Amino acid sequence: MNWPKEITAGGKRLECRRLGPQPGEAPTVVLLHEGLGAMALWRDFPERLAAATGWGVFVYSRAGYGQSEAADLPRPLDYMTREATEVLPEVLETIGFERGVLMGHSDGATIAAEYAGSVEDFRVRGLILEAPHFFTETMGLAEIARAREVFATGDFKAKMAKYHDDPEATFRGWNDAWLDPKFKSWHVGEVIDYWRVPCLAIQGAQDQYGTLAQIREIEERSYAPVETLVLDDCRHAPHADQAEAVLAACAEFLARLERIEAAEPDAA
């Protein structure tokens, strides 16, 4: 079947790709990118994930990223919450999502976490969160401030232009929100209290944007099962820095979810 290369959600046109089995044939992993990410910046990870698991994989660029329609700027400081509660439900409905897992990286991990803790959706059976953030940290904000300097003085903008229609707007939408003085008090850890699905949390030991306090927040607050994977020689993008380890952990986690569901007599 030829899947559309774009959908409309949140009133915006969003570029997208679907790989592997259709929703009625197998569960689906929905990939949610980072704060400066896009569909293309997952590189070959979606294909490798589909091959390793036998699941379908859906990946898209949020508004303001990649080749998707521009976002409205400035972004509100609760932009991740709005993505989780206003846009993502429409995305899942539009693609015919029936059963599966949300896998997010950085901002995308926060969006997935907020969806699981804010929206009642029994189709979502688990979470895979890479480098999630639930509150600000001084070291992370300092790195984001350094990113602003690099963007203004180096070739970062030119590199971003390879993947984003408007790299200036993409960068400002993310950077300006995080460096707004009011954002220092941002904290959404309470959403974890409402999870009722298992979570695999992955973080690089050398993550430059967040410490393992973000992972401890999950471990201390979740009533549902939590598995953690902390990877050495790994910074903020585990699926890029330690692809083999991340793929193996994801495949094992998803296979275990399928075994658990197969053993439940009332599994959907």
Residue spans per domain, the chain: 6-258
Residue 106 corresponds to which amino acid?
Answer: S
Q: Which residues face 56 on adjacent strands?
A: 28
Looking at 169-173, 226-230, 260-264, which range is the least confident one? 260-264
Residue 239 has pLDDT above 70, yes or no: yes
pLDDT at 154: 87
pLDDT at 182: 98
Residue 266 has pLDDT above 70, yes or no: no
DSSP secondary structure string, 51-118? HHH--EEEEEPPTTSTTSPPPPSSPPTTHHHHIIIIIHHHHHHHTT--SEEEEEETHHHHHHHHHHHH
- Judge residue 266's burial from the number of C-beta atoms within 10 Å of its C-beta, 0-12 exposed, 13-18 middle, 19 or more buried: exposed
Minimal CA–CA distance to 23: which of 101, 90, 85, 105? 101
Q: What confidence tens digit (pLDDT) does each residue in 57-95 have?
A: 999 999 999 999 999 999 999 999 999 999 999 999 999
Residue 24: count of CB within 10 angstroms of its CB: 9
E runs forming strands in 56-187: 56-60, 100-105, 124-130
Three-state SS at 7: strand
Residue 33 has pLDDT above 90, yes or no: yes
pLDDT band at 267 (very low <50, low <70, confident <90, very high): very low
pTM comes to 0.96
CATH of region 6-258, choose from 3.30.1600.10, 3.40.50.1370, 3.20.20.70, 3.40.50.1820 = 3.40.50.1820
Residue 268 has pLDDT above 80, yes or no: no
Three-state SS at 200: strand
Average pLDDT over all residues of the chain: 96
